[in-house]
Amino acid sequence: MQNTGTMLGPCTWRIALILLVSFLALTSPTSSQVVPGVESGYEFNDEHVHLTNYIQEGTDIHEFLTIMGTRVGRSVLFGIPLQQQWSYRISEDDAPTYYLSTDAPLYYYSFTDAFIAMAYKSLPPEQQARFDPMITGFNPADMYAADHIRRVLRTFPGVFSGIGEFTIHKEFVSSKVAGGIPSLLDPALDRVLSLAEEVGLVVIIHNDVDVPFAKPESTPGYLAQMQAVLKRHPAAPIIWAHTGVGRVIRPILHHTEMLASMLTDPEFNHVHFDISWDEVAKYVTASPESLKLSADLFNRFPDRFLFGTDALAPKNRTAYFDTYNDYAPLWPLLTKEASVKVRTENYKRIFDKARQQVRLWEAAHAR
């Protein structure tokens, strides 16, 4: 009996071949779809950088691409959600450019999201592929904050991958914010994080683990509240910026033990930590002991840490790469797997997934 199930005529073969070539053309990476990664020789992907500063001035995105050059594959794209007010009554003609330069308040500057979106859209597709824009221009103490995020997603579909860096408790900043101090206990924050769960948005949140100048032996002031928030939103991919430390928020006693405790707790499986900022690098590289503790932690949990520069409107390559160079004593102490994951692969894994999920949400909620 002749088996005709596998017999194809010349015409059928031609059609099948055309369909196969078309499928491969659609699914194979093109020059505008390829997302750079470690295999391309990049040193890191930057999970934390500010294109603009506290007076909404900064680096042109095309110039920033030049600064990234061949050393940085991909980068988040966000500014600063807070604008420093120039109060003539306080500083007269001395215009402040940083939040520590004046007693005048800070206020939320929502136009930053449109500015970032338009900067991103000014690039050709192959350059857009190197960026993951983030929504930051919302007040996390405002119950309408989640509505702002939805509005931005619908206004600029195909652009944003996440929200942040946004701040709850930050030394010398939170108390200066006009219109109410953010709080981990505020249901407005829960609304924002619930939306992140729904949409698939990456969340980069800055929250100090403690109050400024706390006694070393005291219980960290915000740790329990922060952990409770994280546990309430297990479906949100959350990155805790700077592992909770800051300029004067020094690592608590046994800080690495605290991190390890969270990293072994299944309730925090959705939480990652970034080691951005030169201030954090100082703590990590302060001594052989601190270097060993940090390296051991990263080697033990290589999937849970990300590198970022936390550069603020970098003007040149020297300024931009400072933090990466500050970590020079750390990199040789990491295993090859941990080094690659912290510098590049964890970024790709987290943000690639977010891109897909956010685009699906946008398609389902298009106007």
Q: Is the model's pLDDT at 252 over the cut of 90?
A: no
Residue 366, pLDDT score: 82
- Fill in the amino acid letter for 361: W
* pLDDT value, residue 174: 86
Per-residue pLDDT of 279-319, as tens digits, reads: 999 999 999 999 999 999 999 999 999 999 999 999 999 99
Sorted by where each begins, the domain ranges of the chain are 46-364
- Each residue of 35-80: pLDDT tens digit? 434 446 899 999 999 999 999 999 999 999 999 999 999 999 999 9
- Considering the four listed CATH numbers 3.40.50.2000, 3.90.550.10, 3.40.640.10, 3.20.20.140, the one that applies to the domain covering 46-364 is 3.20.20.140
| Single pTM value for the model | 0.88
Q: Are strands 305-306 and 311-312 parallel, antiparallel or unpaired?
A: unpaired
